[in-house]
Chains A and B, each alone.
Chain A
Amino acid sequence: MPPLHQAQRAMRALRRAALQRGVIAILDLGSSKIACLVLRFDASPGAVGEESDVGPMAGQAQFRVIGASVTRSRGIRLGEVDSMQETERAIRTAVQAAQKAANVRVDHVIACFSGGRPESHALFGEADVEGPVVTGADIGRVLAACDMPDLGPSREVLHAHPVHFALDHRTGVSDPRGQAGQRLSTDVHLLTVDAAAIETILLCLKRCDLECAGLASAAYVSGIAALVEDEQELGAACIDMGGGSTGLSIFIRKHMIYADSVRLGGDHVTADISMGLQVPHATAERLKTLHGGVVATGMDDRELIPIGGDSGDWERDRRMVSRTDLIGIMRPRVEEILEEVRARLDFAGFDQLPSQSIVLTGGGSQIPGLDGLASRILGRRVRMGRPLRVQGLPQAATGGAFSAAVGLTLLAANPKDEWWDFEAPPERYPARSLRRAVRWFRDNW
């Protein structure tokens, strides 16, 4: 097992400690914004108790968002830490504001990030069941029996989900524990990222006096938040259009089976506008959010936007640009992103899935007219996804840009079983080697 395995297990223990203490922070390290939510976990379930038919929705009644803050991201490019000092400052800003809103000190943080070139691997493992029924140790042995692919140099495992189990001839068993059988096999979805990206983020969190209680891929958690339960069950892809990178994750039977990221995002659109119109980056961002679009109509030719070049020559530099021009700059880049996504989806075999709904979420998905463009390029009907509602979330944080943060809160409340949650079988080497040593002594003396 790689050392991150131990680290992940330590993180899991930390997360358990944080849940017992009742307060944990969620940190979404994006390229354009950093969001921090402070969650308070209650020991007792909410007012919707066992008496009523409507149970607490997937354990979400257990926690409540008591502090939220968003800050402009600094020092993160393409979902990876670019400048550690700046990233630290940004994390400190977000955490401090959220702490202040929650009026509680937070020590444990679960972070998600989108960079690090995530790569999916499918693993298969098979082993005999030792007892009459399958136990956790059997699952651990099956997972240990998986043949590890070559991950490449300096790659670390970020997620390792046992996607489904097969017990003898029965396939599609979601949880074989307690069932009778002889031969257990499993499919594991392994998501690896650059080790350096993880290390840097861990270091940043450590230098902010925070303890990392878990790491997650932004593509995965935004899928959890933006896909409804049927979509997760029947098969769907979630496309999280972030600032620096666009993540995509494919879900079926409530498990992520594929995740990838396109290293293009809203920041590239902004950069195109900035370059095309010769305006500062901030002005370009403002133009994009206020007047942006991807489908030009005749009306847009007549809509002239003062771009406020702010070149210091206010008397002469009073350029206007029509909205059609702006759309003309934005559309090729958005198309490029979506085509890249389509290539990844085709590579992953998305068209083999029984249901092929696509959900667009993330800050970049708020461009008007994007759903039409996306369905034309991706070839399927596309839905705009907004994150699930969780208790206490401020209204400002309910948009698509907060899918990853909300998904991370759901993941913190209902963690999925990962590889490292099952105890690996104890190796029996020490006893055997001791016996051999004793025998050697007996033979020679």
Chain B
Amino acid sequence: MRTLKLLWQITIPSLRRLPEAVPSGMRRDPAPTLWSYRYQRLMLTPAYRRLVRIGLPSAVAVLMLGGWFAAPGNRAWLLAEIEAVKNAIQERPEFMVHDIEVIGADRALSVAIHGIADFDFPLSSFDIDLAALRDRVTELSAVRRAEVSVAPGGVLRVVVDQRKPVAVWRYSDGLRLIDAEGVMTGMIASRSDRADLPLIAGDGARDAIDEALALFATAEPIKDRVRGLVRMGERRWDMVLDGDLRILLPAEGAVQALQRVLALHEAQDLLDRDVAVVDMRLGQRPTLRLNQPALNVLRNAAASAGYAAPAAPIEEEQ
């Protein structure tokens, strides 16, 4: 026991650091040790200094982050945390959309747009892909242009520039509605659904819709009698009137040709006569084809008058 006590008394004070005994009047020698001198010189070397002050901390940070991310649980937790924060922000009432509003569409189109944008409201505006919605609305054939926005007050506003049908196109699969640009805007079951629109038919009729509209406009005086326009050989138009009367129009200058026909009609009631075809394809030589009875009458009259008959009366077809 005494030995232990002695050891204690000897060792402990020597472990304690005593202040250096410096004689008064003499300053403590501030000389650095060789290694501290070398260390300071090393730290003053620019490259090394940069390495220690920037390189080392960043390396440690990268290592620690890498180690943390190496565990899949940590990654999942971080992703979940990020998702939660994102949701918390996105689900704020300021960002919620409650309703959809369609502007500029008729009822049918409006229903179609509602069918496309059938979100279950309320919904965060971050979850609505406006560009995709706009593309899908624009894909509708009746829509020329669409603007989709989230209006203040949580309303999804779809502003639609609807195509206006100007003609009915009888095609092999049915009756199509065509707008002024030749784009199909929809289909109708029967002609009487849109009796107000003129009828066109034939292959390539859609591509020449401008000319067709001009022709319909020209044919305004005989509007009641016009049945429609038929595109012939994707080249020219035939105007069909009631009573199967056809006006064959040339490929070039169809409107002028029709105006000539209308002028003839005004002067001589051409179209009220028993004519089957008015052929305007050759401008210098408009040609009429009469119906069979008229032709026969004409021939008989010519024969009785003693004229040289242009041809023998043709037997009426049975």
A interface, CB within 8 angstroms of B? 71-72, 74, 88-90, 92-93, 95-96, 99-100, 103-105, 208-209, 280, 282-283, 286, 308, 310
Contacts and interface: CB of A to CB of B under 8 A. Distances in A.
A209 B36 CA distance: 13
Given A89-B31, A209-B41, A283-B25, 4 more contacts: A89-B32, A103-B44, A282-B23, A282-B26
A154 B281 CA distance: 131
Contacts of A105: 41, 44-46
Interface residues of B, number: 17
A71 B25 contact: no
A283 B32 CA distance: 25
B24 A93 contact: no
A331 to B, nearest CB: 24
A71 B30 CA distance: 9
A95 B38 CA distance: 11
A344 B23 CA distance: 40
A99 B29 contact: no
Nearest to B25: A282
B34 interface: yes
B25 A286 contact: yes
20 contacts: A71-B30, A74-B29, A92-B31, A92-B34, A92-B37, A93-B31, A93-B32, A95-B37, A96-B37, A96-B41, A99-B41, A99-B44, A103-B44, A105-B41, A105-B46, A280-B23, A280-B25, A282-B26, A283-B25, A310-B24
Contact of B31 (A90, A286, A310): A90
Contact of A96 (B25, B26, B32, B45): B32
B53 interface: no
A209 B32 CA distance: 14
A193 B26 CA distance: 33
Given A96-B37, A280-B25, A286-B25, A104 B32 contact: no
Nearest to B34: A92
A356 B87 CA distance: 95
Contacts of A89: 29, 31-32
A99 B37 CA distance: 10
A105 B46 CA distance: 8
B1 to A, nearest CB: 40
Interface of B: 23-27, 29-32, 34, 37-38, 40-41, 44-46
B25 A93 contact: no
A100 B44 CA distance: 8
Contacts of B41: 96, 99, 105, 209
A407 B26 CA distance: 30
Nearest to B48: A105
B17 to A, nearest CB: 21
7 smallest beta-carbon distances between A and B, as pairs: A105-B44, A89-B31, A282-B25, A93-B31, A92-B37, A282-B26, A96-B32
A93 B38 contact: no
A72 B44 CA distance: 24
Contact of B37 (A103, A104, A208, A310): A208
B37 to A, nearest CB: 5
Contacts of A96: 32, 37, 40-41
A93 B41 CA distance: 12
A93 B44 contact: no
Nearest to B49: A105
Contacts of B44: 99, 103-105
B25 A74 contact: no
B26 A100 contact: no
A90 B30 CA distance: 9
Contacts of A74: 29, 31
A310 B25 contact: yes
A96 B33 CA distance: 11
A307 to B, nearest CB: 11
Contacts of B26: 280, 282
A88 B38 CA distance: 13
Contacts of B29: 72, 74, 89
A243 to B, nearest CB: 16
B311 to A, nearest CB: 116
